[in-house]
């Protein structure tokens, strides 16, 4: 059964495979401790026993070797390595192959955000999954190498451009767990942390419906407040400051109505049309002095959300 506190060394075990991974990890660590002390103790013993006490002293042993000892220190560690290999390989295969009937989620990584697309066409930046059901992630990168990592699940896999990789897990209980990108992918690599929300199955079905179809202004929020939330959720904040400081991309401070030069020498004015285009086709008009690195948010943000983001920009005077 999964423990939810974790140990001194390891985070909580929040997936069905976590305890198996930890058992192997603990086995290898325990062997390390044992051999560390054996080797240390023998080193000290031999240093004391065979210390040279005067300058004329010569080697006196007439033993050339001991088959018993040499066999022991070759074959015992070899046997232990085989145990580690076979145990690890079985676990590796188990971690690679999703059980039949797993729910599939398509994952797309880009500098510097995650997108999770569900079977009903919905998509999100945090991952939503039902409790007690295996989930298979089918992952691809839009640009460079990223790596999907949920420590609480003991699950990690590279996300690679032009190739699909998969990973699966089953979280038995509802809860929230951290997703990290664990492959250095550029300046805002550390900003690629999101949450996986494990929901009770009925709640998950409801969430899934919300995620598909056109987005709606969340209750109790103004358009500008919603825009600010999207600015955080879609990780715009990693490249675009709102206080005027220079990050990877131009700051959002006073962006609405801003005029300036583009990389190709022409000029731009940041109106609705320009901002919409810059979110959908970021490379169409690149502001002078900035690298053309922004990914497209086509299929991730709809018109309502873009309007909200523009409303938010208008408040940043
Ligand atoms: Cu993506 Cu590090």
The confidence score (pLDDT) of residue 3 equals 47
Name, in order, each residue with C-beta under 8 angstroms of 26's C-beta and a sequence gap of 6 or more: none
Burial tier of 162 (Cβ tally within 10 Å: 0-12, 13-18, 19+): exposed
Q: Indicate if the pLDDT at residue 247 is higher than 90.
A: no
Extract the tokens encoding 37: 């002390």
What is the rounded CA–CA span in Å between residue 109 and residue 98? 21
CA distances (Å), origin 204, targets 130, 167, 174, 198, 234: 6, 20, 10, 8, 21
Domain ranges of the chain: 103-210, 223-315
Distance from Cα 149 to the centre of ligand 1, integer Å? 10
Q: Which ligand 1 atom sits closest to the C-alpha of 111?
A: 1
Domains 103-210 and 223-315 share a fold: no
- What 3-state DSSP class applies to 237? helix
**pLDDT for 302:** 82
Q: What is the pLDDT of residue 1?
A: 40
Contact between residue 137 and residue 150 where contact means Cβ atoms under 8 Å apart? no
- Beta-carbon contacts of 176 under 8 Å, excluding residues fewer than 6 positions away, are 195, 196, 197, 198
- Of 233, 280, 279, 31, give the one whose Cα is nearest residue 116: 233
SS3 letters for 97-121?
A: CCCCCCEEEEEEEECCEEEEECCCC
Model confidence pLDDT, tens digit, residues 289-315: 888 888 888 777 888 888 889 999 989
Q: How confident is the model at residue 128 (pLDDT cuts 50, 70, 90)?
A: very high
CATH level 3 topology of 103-210: Immunoglobulin-like (2.60.40)
Closest ligand 1 atom to 146 CA: 1
Atom of ligand 1 lying closest to residue 181 CA: 2
Contact 198, 259 (CB under 8 A): no
Q: Is residue 179 lining ligand 1, measured as CB closer than 6 Å? A: no
Alpha carbon distance 154, 176 (integer Å) = 14
Residue 212 has pLDDT above 50, yes or no: yes
**Is the pLDDT at 136 greater than 90, yes or no?**
yes
Most confident by average pLDDT, 142-151, 187-196, 301-310: 142-151
Q: Whose CA is nearest to atom 1 of ligand 1?
A: 146
Whether 240 is in the pocket of ligand 1, judged by its Cβ within 6 Å, is no
For ligand 1, the distance from its centroid to the CA atom of residue 159, given in whole angstroms, is 9
Strands (E) across the chain are located at 103-110, 113-117, 123-124, 127-130, 135-141, 146-150, 155-159, 165-169, 175-181, 194-199, 259-261, 267-269
Tell me how crowded residue 278 is: count the other CB atoms within 10 A of its CB: 22
What is the distance in A from the centroid of ligand 1 to the CA of 253? 26
Distance 186 CA to ligand 1 centre (A): 7
Percent of the chain with pLDDT over 70: 97
* Order of strands, sheet of 175-181, starting from the edge strand that comes earlier in the sequence: 127-130, 194-199, 175-181, 146-150, 155-159
Does the beta carbon of 185 sit less than 6 angstroms from any atom of ligand 1?
yes
Other CB atoms within 10 A of residue 240 CB: 18
Weakest mean pLDDT among 61-65, 222-226, 252-256: 61-65
Judge whether residue 200 has pLDDT over 60.
yes
For domain 223-315, the CATH architecture is Orthogonal Bundle (1.10)
In ligand 1, which atom is closest to the CA atom of 145? 1
Rounded Cα gap, residues 316 and 74, in angstroms: 69
**Ligand 1 within 6 A of 184 CB?**
yes
**Atom number, ligand 1, closest to the C-alpha of residue 185:** 2
194 Cβ closer than 6 Å to some ligand 1 atom: no
162-187 average pLDDT score: 92
Tokens of 132: 């007690």
Determine whether the shortest distance from the Cβ of 152 to ligand 1 is under 6 A: no
Distance 109 CA to ligand 1 centre (A): 8
Mean model confidence pLDDT for the chain: 88
Write out pLDDT tens, residues 11-21. 888 888 888 99
Mean pLDDT along residues 77-105: 92
pLDDT at 264 over 60: yes
181 lines ligand 1 (CB under 6 A): yes
Taking the CA atoms of residue 20, residue 136, residue 305 and residue 289 in that order, the dihedral angle to the nearest 10 degrees is 80
Q: Which residue has the higher pLDDT, 211 or 88?
A: 88
- pLDDT at position 4 is 60
The answer, yes or no, to whether any atom of ligand 1 lies below 6 A from the CB of 146, is yes
Mean local confidence (pLDDT), 61-89: 90
pLDDT of residue 150: 94
Do residues 280 and 296 touch, judged by C-beta distance below 8 A? yes
Q: Is 154 in the pocket of ligand 1 (CB under 6 A)?
A: no
Task: Output the pLDDT for position 179.
Answer: 94
């Amino acid at each position: 059964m999964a423990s939810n506190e974790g140990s001194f060394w390891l985070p909580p075990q929040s997936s069905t495979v976590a305890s198996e991974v930890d058992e192997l990890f603990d086995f290898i660590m325990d062997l390390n401790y044992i051999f560390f002390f054996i080797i240390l103790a023998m080193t000290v013993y031999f240093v004391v026993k065979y210390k040279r006490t005067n300058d004329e002293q010569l080697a006196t042993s007439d033993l050339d070797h001991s088959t018993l000892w040499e066999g022991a220190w070759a074959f015992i560690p070899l046997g232990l390595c085989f145990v580690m290999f076979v145990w690890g390989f079985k676990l590796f295969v188990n971690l690679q192959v999703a059980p039949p009937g797993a729910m599939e989620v398509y994952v797309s990584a880009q500098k510097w955000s995650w997108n999770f697309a569900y079977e009903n066409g919905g998509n999100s930046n945090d991952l939503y999954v039902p409790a007690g059901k295996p989930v298979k992630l089918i992952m691809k990168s839009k640009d460079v190498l990223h790596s999907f990592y949920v420590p609480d699940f003991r699950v990690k896999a590279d996300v690679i451009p032009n190739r699909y990789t998969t990973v699966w897990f089953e979280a038995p209980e509802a809860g929230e767990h951290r997703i990290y990108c664990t492959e250095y992918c550029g300046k805002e690599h550390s900003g690629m942390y999101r949450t996986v929300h494990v929901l009770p199955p009925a709640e998950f079905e409801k969430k899934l419906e919300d995620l598909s179809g056109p987005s709606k202004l969340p209750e109790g929020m103004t358009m500008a407040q919603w825009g600010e939330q999207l600015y955080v959720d879609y990780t715009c904040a990693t490249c675009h400051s709102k206080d005027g400081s220079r990050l990877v991309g131009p700051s959002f401070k006073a962006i609405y109505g801003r005029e300036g030069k583009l990389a190709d020498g022409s000029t731009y004015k940041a109106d609705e049309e320009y901002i919409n285009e810059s979110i959908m086709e970021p490379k169409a008009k690149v502001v002078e002095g900035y690298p053309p690195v922004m990914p497209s948010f086509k299929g991730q943000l709809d018109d309502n959300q873009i309007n909200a983001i523009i409303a938010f920009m208008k408040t940043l005077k």
